[in-house]
Every structure is written in C-alpha cells, then in structure tokens.
Chain A
C-alpha cells in the first residue's frame, strides 16, 4: 500500500496528543515530521509534550521541530483551563530525552518539502502560524503541498465566542494567509469535531484496552472531560485534533461539503471567523475547501480504541 506522506503541525495539547497517537498507529501514513507551535500552551510546553509523546510511544525516529512561540499579530492566550498547566491535563509522561530537530519548524518544513519527490499533506491541528510563515516566506513551496487537512474554525459555531474557534482565535491573520493561499484545504472545524466526542463509557472502553496509550488517554481526559460536560452541551469531551487525522484515514466516515472559505480579520464581532460560502449561486471556481460537517461517531470511537490497542 502506498502511504500518504504527511507532516503534522501541533500545539500539544490533550487532543493533539491523541491525534499524534492515531497518526503514528496508522499504517496508511508516512509521518515525515512534526512541527510545533504555541497555542494550547506556550511553545516550551507544547514542544516538551510533543517530544514526550513521540518518545514514550516509541517513535523517537520522527523529527520534531520547534516553530513560532507566538501568533503573527496577537499576543498568545494559552488555554490552561482546558489543557491544564502542563498542556496534557493530569497525565504525566516521562521526561523526554530526545532533542528537537536542529532546524526551526519553517526551515524544516521548507527543506523537507523541497527535497521530497512527492507532494506532502500538511496536517496542522493548532494555530496556523508556522504554516502561514512557510507559505509567506517560501511561496515556491506551495506546489509541493498536496493539501492541508486541518483542525480549526467552524462554519456554524464557535467556542471562544459565538463564531470563532480557538485555533482561529489564536492566530486569525495566519489562518487568513493559509485560506487565501490557493492550497486545497480540508477543514475539520467545530461542526464536525463537536460531534466527535468521547463519553465516559467510551473513555472506560479506551482505558479497558489496558495499554499504555489507553492509560494515557484516560488520564489526559480526566479534567478535559469534566470541563466539556460542565461547560458545553456535549455528553462527553470533543477530541478535535484527532478528527483531522481520521479524515485522512477514513474520509468515507465523514460528511463534507465544498465551499469558498475566507477568514475575517476586520470584523468587531467576527474577527477570526471562518466565513464559509455554501450558497448555490456562488462562484464555485473560487471554492478552496472541503468543509467537514458530520462523522460516524461510533466508528471514530472504534478508531481511538484500535489506536490504543496498537501501543501494547
């Protein structure tokens, strides 16, 4: 089977960690590297967490490169209320011994893409700062990017406010650069990720796998689950970032619709909104994204369970 070459861009983060676990367990993917950005937590913490995850789960061979420590324009507002002070909730992983790659994230992305004979899919699941800098500074690289399968935004809902999702809220300007880049985008926004939640029953199933990944997920989800159940309408916690990886593995589980998506950075109320044009009369030649709207949740939970079983 031909593997899909991918580079992930993460701000690890509880759901980022799960996304990395799903990707590393997937036989369909060839992970060329992971670049890291500030978002859910400071860069220092997201980098530390990413290195911890790849090492603890046996994939120190994957290069991890440090990227931007702050958004392009706004100040960083991390989210310890959701992801905890460490960024991984109450889960504790051993101190990583692997070091980050010697190149910064943008240099790593540039070199990896330039040297690659095939196009690579980028899978950013955090603020889009690194990706925006890459395509602004090295526009020739766009032709090497197959598409961008990302977590962020939302056509019809927000979580930071009524219309704006966290990753977009954190770096709206970067997101605008990415959505205006002409690169094909698969957007896994809140429309689908809020349908990709794990109930307590699901978490117990995952823990029952008895693997170190099952234990890790159950621990990481502890506070995260409470926060969702107490603060959202969901009966469980949304595993946002894992949805982007799931789209790559099983697009057939996911309902999508094509649209022209732009990011607003001028509105007072709509700063950071992904404005998705689904109107029938729109100029479809301007469509730049596949917007994910729904998922077969049972299959998604099944994938998380299978993922945990992989890390025996």
Chain B
C-alpha cells in the first residue's frame, strides 16, 4: 500500500507526543515533516529521533498571526524534562512554509496535513504560497467546537490561540476537517482502559504515565483522540457545515460557529467530526506500544 505523505503540525503539548507516536507507528503515513508552533522545537526534534523518523522538524511561528499583544501565546505544557541528546541538523533549518510548499509540490496533490495546535504555520504557508492550495489534498485540524468550549464558554484553546489563522485555513477552499471538542470528548476513556497501554519510548511513556495517574473519571488525550479520528476517518461520524470563526477580541474570540441550522445560507466549507469512536481510539492508542 502506498503511504500517505503527511505533515504534522504540533505545539508539542503532552497529548501531541502521544498523537505523533500514534501516527508514526500506525504504518499508514510517510511523515514528510513535523512543523512546530511555539517554543518546543528541541523537544520535538528529540521526539522525532526517539521515534526513528528521519523527516525534518521545522520551527515556525512563536506567536499568533495578528493581535500578538493581546493574543494568548502560552503554549506547550509538557512539564517534560527529557534526557537525551538532540540531533538538530541542516535538514531542520527550513521554515515550515517553505518545507510544506516544497513537499506539496513533490507530492503532486497528495499531501495531507494534520494540525494539533494553533494553525499559524499553516495559515502563513497559505499566505506565503497561495499557489499551494490545489496541491494540498486535506487538512485535518484539531481545533474548535460545535457546542461547548474549554478556554472560553464557546471557544476551544487551539482555535482561540490564533482564530485569524484558523479563519484563513477554513476559508482557503482546501478540503478541511475540523475535529474539535465534540469529536475529542466522545473519545474520553477511563483510566482502567489505558492502564495496560505502555510505550517503550521514554517520552511517550512519560506522557502516558501522567494520563494513567489522573484522578478524573474520564481521561481525554485530546490530540491523540483527534489523530485517531484522522487515521480511522471511516469509523467516526462527520457532517459538512459552513463554519465561521470569530476573530475579534472578546468573550467569543475563537468561537467556531458551526452553522447547523443553515442560517448563513452559505455552502458548507468544513467537514466537522460530530462524534469520534472510542473503540477505534483505544485500538489506535495501542500503536504506541510498538
């Protein structure tokens, strides 16, 4: 089977570590690059090396596109203190937009992108190289929510962190799937269900330890749940909607307005994951054992 050429964009939160391992080990993807948002470049290189990937890690935006003074640019909370040397090399010197563009050209329309954090790097790619649009097959974003939010009543953290960037991606005309909190929450698991899932990879295992030790009844390994919805797209429920993004500063900043009732009278622009698949998620999570 031909592997799917894939770019993963991450802000390297704890759940992202699990998500990247899941994608790297599942065997379906040829990971062409990992692009980073925020300050966790070195750690992302370490993760790349520990997973035995030979793709470049590209360090991109540190802050949202606009409103940087007001924007929330605190990201990455791995509380990780990883040992091990890093092997940053010349292949890691590209900016994400340059690398994504060249990989898109090489893949001749087959390139897919999964985003696990704010989508600033992807928006900058689209602004920098508008001609890339027909060359990207699919962008799958862990961002947004159709109903409830987390950082604000209706706003999810990744969307809130750079709503302008998300709007640029959503309005791009590229096939975009939004896997927001609706998809993620249906993949919440009980600690008992993950107590026997261990990884031989130190970084991944340290992340999993924290999830296994949590006292909450439901454990949400958010980015990994989103990645599972991407990997097993046939196993999840989706529906196409027009989705608008609120970008202005205020209590609705970052709200993804999923037009369920057709009030905008606009053609759908986004495939929304309305429900994930817990069973598929747990099966996919076992990939990290490899």
Contacts and interface: CB of A to CB of B under 8 A. Distances in A.
Contacts of A106: 128
Contact of A173 (B69, B164, B248): B164
A214 B248 CA distance: 48
Contacts of B249: 266
Nearest to B68: A180
A180 B67 CA distance: 9
Contacts of B67: 176, 265-266
Interface in B74-117: 95, 97
Contacts of A69: 130
A173 B66 contact: yes
Contacts of B95: 137-138
Interface residues on A, range: 10 to 19
A72 B68 contact: no
B69 A180 contact: yes
B68 A133 contact: no
Given A73-B164, A73-B168, 13 more contacts: A73-B167, A106-B128, A136-B61, A136-B124, A136-B127, A137-B97, A173-B65, A176-B66, A177-B65, A177-B66, A180-B68, A262-B69, A265-B67
A266 B248 contact: yes
A173 B162 CA distance: 13
A72 B69 contact: no
B69 A136 contact: no
Nearest to B125: A137
Contacts of A262: 69
Nearest to A137: B128
B181 to A, nearest CB: 25
Nearest to A176: B66
B67 to A, nearest CB: 7
Contact of B127 (A133, A176, A265): A133
A276 to B, nearest CB: 16
Interface of A: 69, 72-73, 106, 133, 136-138, 173, 176-177, 180, 262, 265-266
The 9 closest A-B pairs by CB, nearest first: A266-B249, A173-B66, A266-B248, A137-B128, A176-B66, A137-B97, A180-B68, A133-B128, A72-B127
9 contacts: A69-B130, A133-B127, A137-B97, A137-B124, A137-B128, A173-B164, A177-B65, A180-B68, A266-B67
Contacts of A72: 65, 127
A262 B67 CA distance: 10
B65 A136 contact: yes
B106 to A, nearest CB: 19
A265 B249 CA distance: 10
Contacts of A137: 95, 97, 124, 128
A165 B104 CA distance: 38
B118 to A, nearest CB: 14
Best-surrounded residue of A69, A177, A265 (most CB of chain B within 10 A):
A265
B266 to A, nearest CB: 16
A128 to B, nearest CB: 12
B263 to A, nearest CB: 22
A69 B131 CA distance: 11
Contacts of B68: 180
A131 to B, nearest CB: 13
Interface in B53-73: 61, 65-69
